[in-house]
Structure 1
Amino acid sequence: MPRPARYTADALLDAAADLLDAEGPAAVTMSAVARATGAPSGSVYHRFPTRAALCGQLWVRTEERLQDGLIAALSGTADAQQRCVAGALHIVAWCREHPVEAQILLAGPDALALPDWPEPLTGRRKRLQRKLRKALADIPDDASRVTAALIDVPYAIVRRHLRARQSIPAGADAIVADCARALISPS
C-alpha cells in the first residue's frame, strides 16, 4: 500500500494563500511555499510544475469555492432582483468567512500569472465562467447592472476592510443589499 502524500496539493495551496495574504501575489513562489510548509522543493514541483501552475490552481480553487454558494444563491425560485441580492450578500458573507481567500480574489488572476497558466487550468476557469453565465442567463436586466450588483459593489464594500485587515462589519450587508436592489429591476 502506498504511503499517503505528506504534502498535499491543498496544504501547498493553503500556504500559497497565506503568503499572498501576508505579502502580496509576488510572494507566492515555489521556494516560499516549500519553506512555509517545510516541504522539499521537489514536492512542490511534483504537484505544480511552474509558478504559473501553482498560482493558477490557487485562483481556480478559490473561484470554485466562492462560486458554489454564489450559483446556489442565484438559482433560487425568487425573482431576479431577490436572487441578485442573495448573490451579492453571499459574496460579502463568503469574504467575511474566508478573508485569506478573499485576498486572492482581490488580487485578481492577472497578478497570479494568468497568461502563463497551463491549458487545463484555463479550461477549468472557462467552465466556471460559463456556469456563472448560465446562472445569470435568466436575469433580464442589463448585464453591466448585474455585474455592478453582484461583483463591483460587494467587492468595493469588502475591499477596504480586507486591505486594512479589519473584519467586514455587519452593516456592509445592508449597504450591498440596498445597492443590488437599486441596480436590478424587480421582475
Structure 2
Amino acid sequence: MARPRVHDLDRLLDAAERLVVDLGPRGVTVRSLAATAGVSNGTIYHAFGSLGALLARVWLRAASDFLDLQTELADQAGDTAAAVVAAAGAPAAFADRRPEAARLLITVKKEHLLGPQIPEDLAGDLLALDKRLVKLLVRLADRLWGRRDAQAVEVLTTCVVDLPTALFRRAFTEGEPISEDSRGRLTAAVRAVLLLPPPRKD
C-alpha cells in the first residue's frame, strides 16, 4: 500500500482534530475517524502506526502552529511589555485562524489526549515544544527585568498561560468567538501584573 500523500495526512489530522474537540479524546476511534475522513482503517494504521500516534500528531501540529504564531506576535511588538501582551493574546489570534485547533489546546488536557505509550520520536517532539515556550518566557523576562530565574518566568507564565486560559476558557468551551471585551480585559490584566517586579527568592 502506498503511503498517503501529505494533503491526505493533513485531512486525517483535520478530521481527528474536529472529533477530539466535539467528542473528547475518548470519543475518537479508528472507525469513527475513518468514517469522518472517508478513508479505510488500514490507511490510518499505515500512515501513523496507531491511533495514539495520530492523536499525538494532532496535538503536536496544533501546539507547534500556535507557538509559531505566539513567537511571531511577540517579536513584532514594539516594546517588551507589548510583546508580553501580544504573547498573552496569541490564543485569541490563533482562534481567529484555526478555531478548532485553538479549542483543542485550551479545552483538552494534553495527558488526556496522549496515551502512556507515545513513540520515542513524538515524545522528543513534545519535549521540544515545552522548551520552546520556556525559551520565549525566559527571553521576555530577560528583556523586562534583566532576569532569567524561575520567579521571573513564573510571573510571565501567569501572564501568557494562566490569564488567557481563565479569560478565554468559557468562549472556547462553548465554541464562541473571543469577545473584544475579553481581549481588552486580558491586556489590562497583563499590564497590571507587569507593574510589580517578580519577587526575589530568599
Normalised by the size of structure 2, how large is the TM-score?
Answer: 0.82
Distance 1:185 1:125, change over 3 A: farther
Q: Which residue of 2 aligns with 1:146?
A: 156
Give how far 1:113 is off.
2.1
Q: Which residue of 2 aligns with 1:161?
A: 171
Q: Quick one: which amino acid aligns to residue 72 of structure 2?
A: A
Q: Quick one: which amino acid aligns to residue 167 of structure 1?
A: P
> Does residue 74 of structure 2 align to residue 74 of structure 1?
yes
Q: How does 1:67-146 map to 2 (within 5 A)?
A: 67-76=67-76, 78-105=78-105, 106-138=107-139, 139-140=141-142, 142-146=152-156
Distance 1:145 1:4, change over 3 A: closer
Distance 1:172 1:30, change over 3 A: same
Moved more, 119-128 or 69-78: 69-78
Q: Which residue of 2 aligns with 1:44?
A: 44
Give how far 1:80 is off.
3.0
Secondary structure of 1:116 counterpart: coil
- Measure the CA separation in 2 of the matches of 1:186 and 1:84: 14
Structure 1, gaps ≥5 residues long: none
Give how far 1:6 is off.
9.1
Quote the RMSD (CA, aligned, Å): 2.3
Give how far 1:8 is off.
1.6
Q: Is the 8 A contact 1:79 1:186 kept in 2?
A: no
The count of corresponding residues between Structure 1 and Structure 2 is 186
- Measure the CA separation in 2 of the matches of 1:149 and 1:110: 23
Q: Is the 8 A contact 2:81 2:191 kept in 1?
A: yes
- Measure the CA separation in 2 of the matches of 1:17 and 1:125: 17
- Measure the CA separation in 2 of the matches of 1:7 and 1:91: 25
Secondary structure of 2:116 counterpart: helix
Q: Quick one: which amino acid aligns to residue 95 of structure 2?
A: C
- Measure the CA separation in 1 of the matches of 2:3 and 2:136: 42
Give how far 1:101 is off.
0.9
Task: Give CA deviations for 1:78-105 in whole Å, capped at 9, x if unaligned.
Answer: 4432211011122222124322112211
Secondary structure of 2:89 counterpart: helix
- Measure the CA separation in 1 of the matches of 2:5 and 2:64: 23
Q: Quick one: which amino acid aligns to residue 61 of structure 1?
A: R
Give how far 1:186 is off.
8.4
Structure 2, gaps ≥5 residues long: 146-151, 198-202
Give how far 1:185 is off.
4.1
Distance 1:29 1:7, change over 3 A: farther
Distance 1:20 1:11, change over 3 A: same
Q: Which residue of 2 aligns with 1:181?
A: 191
- Measure the CA separation in 1 of the matches of 2:110 and 2:161: 15
